[in-house]
A and B are shown apart, each in its own frame.
Chain A
Amino acid sequence: EADIYQTPRYLVIGTGKKITLECSQTMGHDKMYWYQQDPGMELHLIHYSYGVNSTEKGDLSSESTVSRIRTEHFPLTLESARPSHTSQYLCASSERTGTRTDTQYFGPGTRLTVL
C-alpha cells in the first residue's frame, strides 16, 4: 500500500486564480511525478523530479510549475488558471533503485475544474 497523498481532491475555481495542488509521500521515494489525465483518456507526464532541487518537464507541455524543496513534497502550481486546465492531476512516486521495476505509486488525484 502506497502512502502518497494529494489535496485537494476536488477543486472548482474561477479563471485567473492562482492554485497550488499539493502532493506528499511518506515512503522516502526520490522520484516524483505529475501526470495530467482528461476524462476517459490516458495519462500524460507533465513534470518529474529525481530528488530535492531537481525538476524537469515531461512529454506533455504544461503551463504549470513544480518545486521540490523537500523529498516528501512535490507541489504543482498554476499561476493563472484557465478553463483549458480543467483535468485530473495525478501525483506519483517511485524509488530510485536503478532496477527495471521502479514501480510508480499514485496518489488519489485532484480533479480540477476551471470555470
Chain B
Amino acid sequence: AQKITQTQPGMFVQEKEAVTLDCTYDTSDPSYGLFWYKQPSSGEMIFLIYQGSYDQQNATEGRYSLNFQKARKSANLVISASQLGDSAMYFCAMREAQTGANNLFFGTGTRLTVIP
C-alpha cells in the first residue's frame, strides 16, 4: 500500500488566492513526521513545513500552513495569498520513527500553477 497519497496531479489557483494541496498517509507507527517540499522546474527540493505526529497544533511557516487531521490521516498544505513564484511541484513526505534509516516516503506530487 502507498504510504503517501497525493490525489491531485495538477491544481490551478488565481494569484493572491489560497489553495489547498491534499495529502493522506498510511502508517501504523504512532511516531512519525510529515513534510512538504516544493520542487521548481530547476529541480531542487525546497523544504517548506514539518508536522510531528504528537504536535498539538497545526504547523505554520509564513504563507504555508498544514491542516493536520490525525484521525483521518491527512496533512493538507494550505498556501495563502498565492504568488506566481509558487508555481511548482509540491511533494508530501513522511518519516516513520521505526524506520531507522530516517527514510522519507514521498507522494507522487501535485503540480501547482498560479494564474496571473
Contacts and interface: CB of A to CB of B under 8 A. Distances in A.
B103 A59 contact: yes
Contacts of B45: 43, 90, 92, 106, 109
B116 to A, nearest CB: 24
Contacts of B102: 31, 33, 48, 94, 102, 104
Interface residues of A, number: 28
B41 to A, nearest CB: 11
Interface in A20-64: 31, 33, 40-45, 48, 56, 58-59
A48 to B, nearest CB: 5
A9 B31 CA distance: 36
A103 B47 contact: yes
A103 B50 contact: yes
Given A33-B102, A100-B95, A104-B102, 20 more contacts: A40-B89, A41-B109, A42-B91, A42-B106, A42-B108, A43-B91, A44-B106, A45-B103, A45-B104, A58-B103, A59-B103, A90-B43, A94-B102, A100-B32, A103-B50, A104-B35, A104-B104, A105-B47, A106-B46, A111-B43
Q: Which 4 A-B pairs have the closest CB atoms?
A: A106-B45, A42-B106, A109-B43, A108-B44
5 contacts: A40-B111, A44-B106, A58-B103, A100-B52, A109-B43
